[in-house]
Structure 1
Amino acid sequence: MAMTAFSNSRPEAALGSTADAAQTFSVAEVVGLPFIRAHSDPNRACLSWPDGRLNNSEFAAAVAATAQTLRDRHGITSGSVVGVLLRNVPELITTMFATWSLGAALTPINPSLTDDEVLFQLSDSGAKALVGEERADALSLELGLGYLSATDECFRAAAGAISVDVIPDVSGVRDDDAGLIVYTSGTTGKPKGCVLEQSALAAMVWSLVHGLDHGEDVRSLLVLPLFHCNGLLAGTVMPLKLGGSVHVLPKFDPSTFWGVVETERPSYFSAVPTIFSVLEARTTREVDASSLRFVICGAAPMSKDAIARFEKKFDLDMVEGYGLSECSVCATLNRNDGTAKPGTVGPALPGFEIGIKDPGGTLLPVGEAGEVVIASRTIMRGYLGRPEATAEALRDGWLHTGDVGFLDSDGYLTLVDRIKDLIIRGGENIYPKEIEDALLGHELVVEAAVVGAPDEKYGEVVVAHVALRNGASITEEELLAFLEQRLARYKLPTRIHLREGLPKNAVGKIVKEELRKV
């Protein structure tokens, strides 16, 4: 059979290439977005949050004033790195555009990290200044960095016309300037900084803009944390590039979430499976979700049954996608045009090529499972200061993801699991996701995670961890009986732990490393 890679771009749109310029925005279009919007429609809504709102002119003024402070007070110029240690607040978005306008890179820091972890990221990234609140002030002193308070008046510059002499000149920002240094979770060692160049970010925004039918009056409800590419690009830059607006949600709270939707009237939001599962399980009242054209699910695969339950309950279309920080956000995405295939994470986005490789590096035919590889101009420059890890991830013109999947004849990608999560029981390969999806097919199960546990006889055995709906009750024996009708006997868990909830990281992904210790 012929080896296959599916693409929604020209073949040369691969890693490190200079693909068709029409398949991207210019760096100036993205970096200069606040000032372009202010010039074209100064009074249009731009950014809102529970305590306030900014129109285009006000937002651009805040960006310009922040950039001026970073440059004049802290010496931030082209090639500098600025850290930001903030929860989901508008000042983080202001800082991002201000940093970009100076040709500098932003490294967003997860506020839930310990002080030592924050200091590691600041040191590793080479940050010259840190933006934040009291905690950031103390940590910047420890490293001798410049500090800019998020309550500084530059973040809330007065409304009105912006003087030409304070607008940053973004024409000097180069395609190969680093725009973001985003750190991986570090579950297998020290976190690694993914260096994403401005040209990669511009190409990613282009792909997101052209990958869906967004309709008119685009408005994003920003649910995901802003220390992650999804929140920054898919939740913020994309809707702003479409001429729309963003409402920043400081944190996700299922008890108040639908009230925010009904008040702010977003056209979409992007979230992770655990958020959708919690909303479906805990919402007991009728909600008005009519403003939402679709919702996007990412970060981890969601079972077909869980998707169907959410879509039916709220009468919404969910489009599931797949990507990782190393490719800027997203590589595949089901469309909202009636072509979505539940159970898959969609076909390649425009500007991407997706392939499946065997361990020897050969592209595999349709239907055969192997490692998912990605080629696109959105791929990272590499891991900062880690040439060996970079060489391992970026090989033969492809980003090697460490995920197992297969493509169908239409180019839709189905994820099987992470390579590292594979369980080998007595010589049989078992992928946890298949068991998790089977568990999630039970109407009482909200969350499920499957891990391998050492065993003298089989080497490894299957152990499941399950969280039920509020007030639900079921026994381990009843769940096993349910699974016996859906799985081969060797795939059945030897133990099922019923828990109130499963451990998650700050993005909302289940942390299996903690479950392996149980």
Structure 2
Amino acid sequence: MTDMSTGGLAVPRLPQTRAADAPGAPALADDRIELTNERFSNAVATAATHLAAAGVRRGDVVGLLLTNRVELVVALFAAWRLGAAVTPVNPALAVPEVEFQTADAGVRVLVVEPGAQAPSLMTAVECTALLEPAPGPAAPEEDVDGTDVALLIYTAGTTGKPKGVMITHHNIDAMTASFIEHFRFTADDHSLLVLPLFHANGVVLGTLTPLRAGGRATIAGRFRPDEFFPAVQRHRPTYFSAVPAIYAMLTALPDDVRPATDSVRFGICGAAPMPADLIARFERRFGIPIVEGYGLSETTTASAINPLDSVRKPGTVGPPLPGQRIRIVDAQLNDVPLGESGEVVIAGDVVMAGYLNRPEATAETIVDGWLRTGDVGRIDDDGYLQLVDRVKDMIIRGGENIYPKEIEAQIYHDPGVFEAAVIGRPHDVLGEEPVAYVSFRAGAASNVETIANDLRRRIALIKNPVEIIELSELPKNPVGKIDKPTLRRRDAERTSPGRTSR
């Protein structure tokens, strides 16, 4: 498709270029609205006029306090049309959390659900009003530069106040181009979006990339396991992106659920390492290959993904994506020998501009152009990256380094396990000891005793959890990852002060 844009940028002008190339082709849909390219472009122009009337100007920030819906994507492009940046806000946040993000980002106008209330003293626009006819002439289109901030994605805030990740238009152009090259996306591709649009994955991989390739995106709304495959059969997407928790829920569907999945070329798994056993279980049952990948908001979505057409290695996140470089370094940021573990650092055009108004945090994270991820990994002889764990999740037991992911991978060998998470529990003498939290599939014969017995055969005694605790469901953060900070707090609450684990 034509790649015309101001300043050589492809993504900000996608509505206009798509309408010029194929006005009647489908672009974007949810369960209420279907937009062709021409209707999409017109909707963006109309929404931009409404936002301008509300006071949005070049350099401003527009907040999107919305569930997944067509209006969110329209508002995104409308803000860019005016030269403004966008910060998507998780609609499940509490009012103080919304107030923090909107104030920290300097939001000028907040787009909200119909009937919703915005924080006090903030201009709000209902999302449905953006699609209504706009009075007066259309707002003029602003030029945007590659260095302009396009997205402010806020981190989960597990280590303090959330930080605004500044993703530029150049970052987004580089990331979408990398995805298109890696997955060979074309105008025939169709994304089924199940991840939240307040996260980089949903915005960039699930929406912007297929639109740039000339394809389309369908927004499935809030994920429900029993509604996912009916949506696949109804919309016939070619791919989707999800997190391990979603794949686990789909494999737990009743055995008589055998959907037609012939339209789907592949599924992508990100946000957290996916157990190899779970990948195999999903692929055998549903016939959809899973490619596991890795990235961060700070790298605009992803930095490594297993290939589609060559060797896929479950348990790894594949080689670096086109245009990116990955190194494994020690504490002094020197390269470690091939195959040894160290911190993962990443360079490339997808690396964020920095954290909004946090120069110290930016300087600590980006060193000589390399992004320090805080993840521990190793690279094998084929150049595939294997994640070992988070630096901060590593457990030091009596001076020995223990990686929770290694224990979790062994727990997942039990087919009755639905989810597992290992954390460190403080110990007066040893420093920390591993503790496991698990949930089981419905009807599973497994229990904490069978897991403990199996682990004693599989891993060294020092790595065995001192306690295995069953929960009906493990806590998740808004992106769908198992929430280890919450588990640590709960574990501390259930452990009396001063208690020493056996």
Under a length normalisation based on structure 2, what TM-score does the superposition of the two structures give? 0.93
Trace 1:112-127 onto structure 2 (pairs within 5 A): 112-127=92-107
Contact 1:464 1:497 in 2 (8 A): yes
What's 2:496 paired with? none
Trace 1:250-399 onto structure 2 (pairs within 5 A): 250-284=221-255, 285-399=257-371
1:420 pairs, out of 367, 388, 392, with 392
Trace 1:152-163 onto structure 2 (pairs within 5 A): 152=129, 154-155=130-131
What's 1:199 paired with? 170
Structure 1 residue 37 displacement after superposition? 0.6
Counterpart residue type for residue 116 of structure 1: P
What's 1:240 paired with? 211
Trace 1:28-107 onto structure 2 (pairs within 5 A): 28-71=9-52, 73-107=53-87
CA-to-partner distance for each residue in 1:367-391, whole Å, 9 max, x for gaps? 0110000001111111111111110
Give me the whole-angstrom Cα distance separating, in 2, the residues matched to 1:332 and 1:401. Answer: 13
- Other structure's SS at 2:476 match: coil
- Other structure's SS at 1:116 match: helix
Instruction: Give identity over the alignment, percent.
Output: 47
Query: Please, which runs of 5 or more residues in structure 1 have no aligned partner?
Result: 1-21, 159-164
Counterpart residue type for residue 19 of structure 2: A
Give me the whole-angstrom Cα distance separating, in 2, the residues matched to 1:40 and 1:494. Answer: 62
CA-to-partner distance for each residue in 1:422-481, whole Å, 9 max, x for gaps? 011111110000011111111101100000111223221110001110122433221111
- Other structure's SS at 1:372 match: strand
Q: Residues 106, 457 of structure 1: CA spacing in aligned structure 2 closer, same or farther, 3 A cutoff?
A: same
Structure 1 residue 167 displacement after superposition? 8.0
Q: Residues 137, 493 of structure 1: CA spacing in aligned structure 2 closer, same or farther, 3 A cutoff?
A: same
Contact 1:213 1:337 in 2 (8 A): no
Contact 1:27 1:173 in 2 (8 A): no
Give me the whole-angstrom Cα distance separating, in 1, the residues matched to 2:234 and 2:6. Answer: 33
Counterpart residue type for residue 325 of structure 1: S
Q: Residues 62, 39 of structure 1: CA spacing in aligned structure 2 closer, same or farther, 3 A cutoff?
A: same
- Other structure's SS at 1:329 match: coil
2:149 pairs, out of 178, 183, 189, with 178
Counterpart residue type for residue 221 of structure 1: L
Counterpart residue type for residue 20 of structure 2: H
Contact 2:377 2:386 in 1 (8 A): yes
1:450 pairs, out of 404, 422, 430, with 422
Structure 1 residue 212 displacement after superposition? 1.2
Structure 1 residue 229 displacement after superposition? 0.5
Q: Are 1:231 and 2:202 matched, yes or no?
A: yes
Q: Residues 261, 64 of structure 1: CA spacing in aligned structure 2 closer, same or farther, 3 A cutoff?
A: same
Contact 1:58 1:157 in 2 (8 A): no
Counterpart residue type for residue 203 of structure 2: L
Structure 1 residue 309 displacement after superposition? 0.8
Structure 1 residue 28 displacement after superposition? 3.2
Give me the whole-angstrom Cα distance separating, in 2, the residues matched to 1:394 and 1:496. Answer: 38
Q: Are 1:138 and 2:114 matched, yes or no?
A: no
Structure 1 residue 29 displacement after superposition? 1.5
Contact 1:213 1:336 in 2 (8 A): no
Contact 2:210 2:216 in 1 (8 A): yes
Give me the whole-angstrom Cα distance separating, in 2, the residues matched to 1:244 and 1:346. Answer: 25
Q: Residues 514, 133 of structure 1: CA spacing in aligned structure 2 closer, same or farther, 3 A cutoff?
A: same
Q: Residues 381, 395 of structure 1: CA spacing in aligned structure 2 closer, same or farther, 3 A cutoff?
A: same
Give me the whole-angstrom Cα distance separating, in 1, the residues matched to 2:192 and 2:72. Answer: 16
Structure 1 residue 251 displacement after superposition? 0.4
Q: Residues 444, 120 of structure 1: CA spacing in aligned structure 2 closer, same or farther, 3 A cutoff?
A: same
What's 1:161 paired with? none
Q: Residues 326, 25 of structure 1: CA spacing in aligned structure 2 closer, same or farther, 3 A cutoff?
A: farther
Structure 1 residue 413 displacement after superposition? 0.3
Contact 1:25 1:202 in 2 (8 A): no
Give me the whole-angstrom Cα distance separating, in 2, the residues matched to 1:437 and 1:195. Answer: 34
Structure 1 residue 409 displacement after superposition? 2.0
Counterpart residue type for residue 472 of structure 2: E
More contact order relative to length (CA 8 Å, sep ≥ 6): 1
Q: Residues 350, 440 of structure 1: CA spacing in aligned structure 2 closer, same or farther, 3 A cutoff?
A: same
What's 1:149 paired with? 126
**Mean Cα displacement is larger for which, 206-215 or 432-441?**
206-215
- Other structure's SS at 1:255 match: helix
Structure 1 residue 68 displacement after superposition? 1.2
Counterpart residue type for residue 436 of structure 2: A
1:211 pairs, out of 176, 179, 182, with 182
Query: Please, which runs of 5 or more residues in structure 2 have no aligned partner?
Result: 492-502
Trace 1:17-36 onto structure 2 (pairs within 5 A): 28-36=9-17
Structure 1 residue 156 displacement after superposition? 5.5
What's 1:12 paired with? none
Q: Residues 290, 25 of structure 1: CA spacing in aligned structure 2 closer, same or farther, 3 A cutoff?
A: farther
Counterpart residue type for residue 114 of structure 1: A
- Other structure's SS at 1:263 match: helix
Q: Residues 168, 349 of structure 1: CA spacing in aligned structure 2 closer, same or farther, 3 A cutoff?
A: farther
CA-to-partner distance for each residue in 1:89-144, whole Å, 9 max, x for gaps? 111000111111111100000011110000010110011110012575331xx1x2
**Mean Cα displacement is larger for which, 129-138 or 278-287?**
129-138
- Other structure's SS at 2:225 match: coil
What's 1:10 paired with? none
Contact 1:282 1:470 in 2 (8 A): no
Equivalenced residue count is 485
Under a length normalisation based on structure 1, what TM-score does the superposition of the two structures give? 0.91
Give me the whole-angstrom Cα distance separating, in 1, the residues matched to 2:444 and 2:487. Answer: 22
Counterpart residue type for residue 73 of structure 2: I
Counterpart residue type for residue 43 of structure 1: G
The root-mean-square deviation of aligned C-alpha atoms, in Å, is 1.9
